[in-house]
Amino acid sequence: MTAQVLFKNRHPDRIATLAEYRHSGGYEALAKVLADSSRQQVQQVLTDAVLLGRGGAAFPAGVKLSTVAADAPYPRYVVCNADEMEPGTFKDRVLIHADPHQLLEGICLAGFAVDAHEGIIFIRPEYEGAARILEREIALAEKEGLLGQNILGSGFDFDIIVHRSGGRYICGEVTAQLNAIMGRRPNPQQPPPYPTEKGLWDRPTVLQNVETLCCMPHIVRNGADWFKGLARTESGAGTKIFGISGRVRRPGCFELPMGVRLSEIIENHAGGMAEGSRFKACLPGGASTGFLPAEHYDIPMDFESLKQAGNRLGTGAIMVFDHRTCLVGVTLNLMEFFARESCGWCTPCREGLPVIRELLREIEEGRGKPEYVGVLKEMGRHLWNAYCAFAPGAAAPLESLLAHFADEVQEHIERKACPFG
Partner 1 sequence: MLPENLKKELQDRIAAVDHPRELVVDVLFALQAHYGFVTDEAVEEAAGLLGMTPMEVDEVATFYTFVYRRPVGKYVIHVCDSVICWLEGGRSLQEYLSQKLSIAPGETTADGLFTLLPVCCIGYCDRAPAMLINKKVYGPLTPETIDQLLDELREAH
Partner 2 sequence: MIKLIIDNLRVEVPPGTRVIDAAEQAGIMIPRFCYHPALGAVGACRVCAVQVLEGSCRGIRMSCMIEAEEGMVISTTDEEAVAFRRQVIEWLMANHPHDCPVCDEGGQCLLQDMTVSGGHGRRRLPVKKRTHIDQHLGPLVVHEMNRCIQCYRCVRFYREYAGYTDLGVMGSAGRVYFGRRSDGVLESPFAGNLIDVCPTGVFTDRPSRFKGRYWDFERTPSVCIHCSLGCRVTVNTRYREVVRVEAAHDPQVNGWFICDRGRYGFPYASSPQRPRSARIDGRKSGVDEALDEAARRLSGIAQRHGSGSVALAASGRVCLETLGALTRFGSEKGWRGPFFRAGPRTAEALQSASKNLEEKISISLKDIEKSDFILLVGCDPVNEAPMLALSVRQARRRGAVVALADARSVQLPLDARRLALRPSQLTAALMRFAGKAVADGGAALSDRARGFLQACRDSRVDPAVDEQIDHLGLAARESRRPVVVCGTSAVAPDTPAAAANVARLLAAEGRKAGFFPVLPGANALALGLAGRTADHGAALREALEKGDVRALVVVETNLSELGFSADDPLLENLEALVVCDCLDSAAGRAARVFIPTQTVFEAGGTFVSAEARVREARPAFRGGTPVAQVSGGGHPPRTFSPDIPGADPLPAWQVLAALAREGTRVSADTLRKALPAPLCGAAPGKRLALPASAPDAFQPPEDPATAADGGLEVVVCEHIFGSEPLSRRAACLQELESAPRLGLHPGDAAALQLSAGQRVAVDCGRGVIEGEIEIVNEMARGVLLVPRLRGIDWHAAADGPLVVAVADIRSVKPNGES
* Contacts to partner 2 by CB under 8 A: 168, 170, 185, 190, 339-348, 350-352, 354-355, 358-359, 362, 367, 371, 375, 378-379, 382, 385-387
Exactly one of 184, 249, 369, 415 binds partner 1 (CB under 8 A); which one? 184
Question: In 3D, which of 56, 52, 93 has the Cα closest to residue 231?
Answer: 52
Between residues 217 and 352, which has the closer beta carbon with respect to partner 2?
A: 352
Tell me, what DSSP letter sits at residue 8?
A: T
386 part of the interface to ligand SF4, by CB under 6 A: yes
CB of 342 to ligand SF4, least distance (A): 4
379 part of the interface to ligand SF4, by CB under 6 A: no
List 281's β-bridge partners, or say none. 293, 321
Between residues 71 and 190, which has the closer beta carbon with respect to partner 2?
A: 190
Instruction: List binders of partner 1 among 75-104 (CB under 8 A).
Output: 84-90, 93
Instruction: List binders of ligand FMN among 216-255 (CB under 6 A).
Output: none
55 part of the interface to ligand FMN, by CB under 6 A: yes
Long-range CB contacts (within 8 A, 24+) of 329-335: 329/364, 329/418, 329/420, 330/397, 331/360, 331/397, 331/398, 331/401, 332/357, 332/360, 332/361, 332/364, 334/87, 334/287, 334/394, 334/397, 334/398, 335/360, 335/394, 335/398
Exactly one of 18, 332, 349, 402 binds ligand SF4 (CB under 6 A); which one? 349
CB of 309 to ligand FMN, least distance (A): 21
End-to-end CA distance of the chain: 41
List 255's β-bridge partners, or say none. 241
188 part of the interface to ligand SF4, by CB under 6 A: yes
Between residues 309 and 373, which has the closer beta carbon with respect to partner 2?
A: 373
CA torsion 51-56-59-64 (nearest 10°) is -90
Partner whose binding site includes residue 362, from partner 2, partner 1, ligand FMN, none (CB under 5 to 8 Å by kind): partner 2
CB of 142 to ligand FMN, least distance (A): 25
Q: With beta carbons less than 8 A apart as the criterion, state whether 337 and 169 touch.
A: yes
Distance, in Å, from the CA atom of 316 to the CA atom of 313, rounded to the nearest integer, reads 5
Exposed, middle or buried: residue 16 (CB in 10 Å: 0-12, 13-18, 19+)?
buried
Element (H, E) at 112: helix 100-114
166 part of the interface to partner 1, by CB under 8 A: yes
Distance, in Å, from the CA atom of 162 to the CA atom of 320, rounded to the nearest integer, reads 33
Instruction: Write the DSSP assignment of 331-389 as a string of letters.
Output: HHHHHHHHHHH--S-SHIIIIIHHHHHHHHHHHHTT---THHHHHHHHHHHHHTTSSSS
343 part of the interface to ligand SF4, by CB under 6 A: yes
Exactly one of 389, 403, 417, 418 binds ligand FMN (CB under 6 A); which one? 389
124 part of the interface to partner 1, by CB under 8 A: yes
What single-letter amino acid sits at 384?
W
- What lies within 8 Å, CB to CB, of 145 at 6+ separation is 151, 152, 153
Partner whose binding site includes residue 85, from ligand SF4, partner 2, ligand FMN, none (CB under 5 to 8 Å by kind): ligand FMN
Between residues 87 and 293, which has the closer beta carbon with respect to partner 1?
A: 87
Using the contact rule CB under 8 A, the part of the chain among 10-18, 221-229, 303-311, 339-347 near partner 1 is: 339-347
Neighbours of 167 (CB within 10 A): 12
Exactly one of 7, 21, 77, 169 binds partner 1 (CB under 8 A); which one? 169
3-state secondary structure of 76: coil
Between residues 46 and 346, which has the closer beta carbon with respect to partner 2?
A: 346
| Residues in touch with partner 1 (CB under 8 A) | 84-90, 93, 124-129, 163-169, 180-186, 201, 243, 245-247, 251-253, 287, 317, 319, 321, 325, 329-330, 333-334, 336-337, 340-341, 343
| Residues in touch with ligand SF4 (CB under 6 A) | 170, 188, 342-346, 349-350, 386-388, 390-391
| Residues in touch with ligand FMN (CB under 6 A) | 53-57, 59, 61, 81, 83-86, 169-170, 172-174, 207-209, 212, 388-390, 393
